[in-house]
Amino acid sequence: MASYFKNLIDKYFHTEDQISLSILLVFIGIIVIFFGSILTPLFISALVAYLLNSVVNATERRGFSRPIGLTISITLFFGLYLSLFLIFPLLSRQIIGLVNELPRIVENLEDILVNFFNDYPEFFTSEQIENLSVTITSSLPNILEQTLLQLNAGFSAAMSALVYLVLIPFLVFFFLKDKKQMLEYVAYFLPSDKSSASKIWIELDSQLFKYLRGKVLELIIVGIVTTTAFSILGANYSLLLGILVGLSVLIPLFGAIFVTIPVAIVGYFQWGLDMNYLIFLATYLIIQALDGNVLFPLLIGREVNLHPVLIVLAILIFGGIWGFWGVLLAVPLATAVRAVIKSWPAVSN
C-alpha cells in the first residue's frame, strides 16, 4: 500500500510544475470553501464574462479589433439584461396572484383528501374520516404559516438576487475590459514552464465552455417554448411557470422533479381532471422529454455529460457549502474539477 501511494505521488506530485499547480489549486479550494458565499457574485460574473469573451474572440476572428468586439459583447449582454426588467412587472403580478391563491389551493387540497376517503368507505370508517378532517383543519393554519415563512425566505433571497443584479453587470464589464491584466497577474503565480498549465486550461476551456454555452441556450429555449405553449393553452401564471421550467435545467435530475409539482398543482386547480388539464400535462411532459433526449445531447453533447452519481455528489457538496447558489453552480464546478483531473500532468514510469 505504501509503495502504491509513493508511486502515485512520484507520478502526479513530483515535478516543479505539478507542485506549483497543486499549491495554486489548494489555495483556490480554500478560498472557494471558506469565502464562496461572499464571492458568489464574483464567480457568476466571471462565468458570464467567460461566455461573453467567446463573442469577442469570434469578432476578432472576423477581422474586427478587440474594442469593437468588446462593444458588441457588452451591448449584447446589457440588451439581454434589460429585457429581464421588461418582463418583471408581469412576472411580479403573477407571483402576487399565486401567493393570494395559495390559501384557496390548500383548502381545496383538504376537500380532495376528505372526498377521497369518503369515496372508499370500505377502507375507512366514518370516525377515521372525521378525525382526518379535524386534523387537516387544525393543521391548515400551520401549513399556511409555513408557506408564508418560505415565501418570506424567498423574498430575502430575491433581495439578495436584486443586489447581484446590480453588482454583476459592473463586474462583468471589468472582467472583459481588463482580461489581459488579470491573466498576466494569474500567470505570475504559475511555474516558468507553463506547458502543463496550458494543457489543463485547454481541456478546462473546452469542457466548461461547451457546458455553459449549452446550458444557457437550453434554458432560453426551454423557457420560451414552455411559456409560449402554456400561454396558447390559456394556463394561469404561464410566464412564471415557463421561467421555473427553464431554470430547472440548471439543476440536472432534481430540477425537473421539483418543478413538476407546481406545474401539476397549478394546472389541476385551474381545470380539474378534464381534457384541458390532460393536454396541459401532456404538453409539459413532451417538452421535458424533448429537452432530455434531443435538446440536451444536441447542445451539450455526450462528452461533457457527467455521471448521475457525480451530479448528486456535486449538488450535495457545493449545495452544502453555498446553499442555493452552490446547487446552481455545482455542475459547472464539477465539470471544471473533472477537466483538471483529466488533463493533470503525469510523469511516465
Q: Mind giving me the DSSP string for 200-267?
A: HHHHHHHHHHHHHHHHHHHHHHHHHHHHHHHHHTT-TTHHHHHHHHHHHTTSTTHHHHHHHHHHHHHH
Longest dimension (CA), the chain: 82
pLDDT of residue 150: 54
Mean pLDDT calculated for residue range 308-330: 80
What are the residue boundaries of the structural domains of the chain, listed by start?
195-349
Q: List the alpha helices (DSSP H) in 119-194.
A: 126-177, 179-187
Look up residue 325 and give its amino acid.
W
Taking the C-alpha atoms of residue 200 and residue 193, their distance in angstroms, rounded to an integer, is 13
Q: Could you give the CA distance from residue 40 to residue 325 in angstroms, rounded to a whole number?
A: 7
What letter does residue 304 receive in the DSSP assignment? Answer: G
Cβ contacts of residue 13 below 8 Å, gap of 6+?
19, 22
Q: How confident is the model at residue 33 (pLDDT cuts 50, 70, 90)?
A: confident
158 contact partners, CB below 8 Å, separation of at least 6? none
pLDDT score of 226: 95
- The candidate with the shortest Cα–Cα distance to 147, out of 109, 183, 116, 184, is 109
pTM: 0.74
User: Phi-psi bin for 63: left (phi > 0), alpha (psi -120 to 50), beta?
Assistant: left
Residue 316 has a pLDDT of 85
Compute φ and ψ for 344, nearest 5 degrees.
-65, 135
C-alpha cell at position 327: 446547487
Q: What is the pLDDT of residue 91?
A: 79
Q: Which has the higher per-residue pLDDT, 84 or 271?
A: 271
Identity of the amino acid at 229: A
Q: Which three cell numbers stand for residue 47?
A: 462565468
Residue 142: how many other CB atoms lie within 10 Å: 9
Condensed to tens digits (0 to 9), the pLDDT of residues 300-313 reads 766 566 777 888 88
pLDDT at 275: 92
Cell of 140: 391548515
Contact 132, 111 (CB under 8 A): no
Region 18-43 average pLDDT: 78
Name the residue with higher pLDDT: 10 or 34: 34
> Using CA atoms, how far apart are residues 111 and 95, in angstroms rounded to an integer?
24
Give the model's confidence band at 134: pLDDT under 50 very low, under 70 low, under 90 confident, else very high: low
Lowest-pLDDT choice from 40-44, 61-65, 154-158, 242-246: 154-158
Length of the chain: 349
DSSP SS3 for 166? helix
Q: How far apart are CA 84 and CA 275, in angstroms?
A: 34
Can you tell me the distance from the alpha carbon of 163 to that of 44, in angstroms, rounded to the nearest whole number?
13
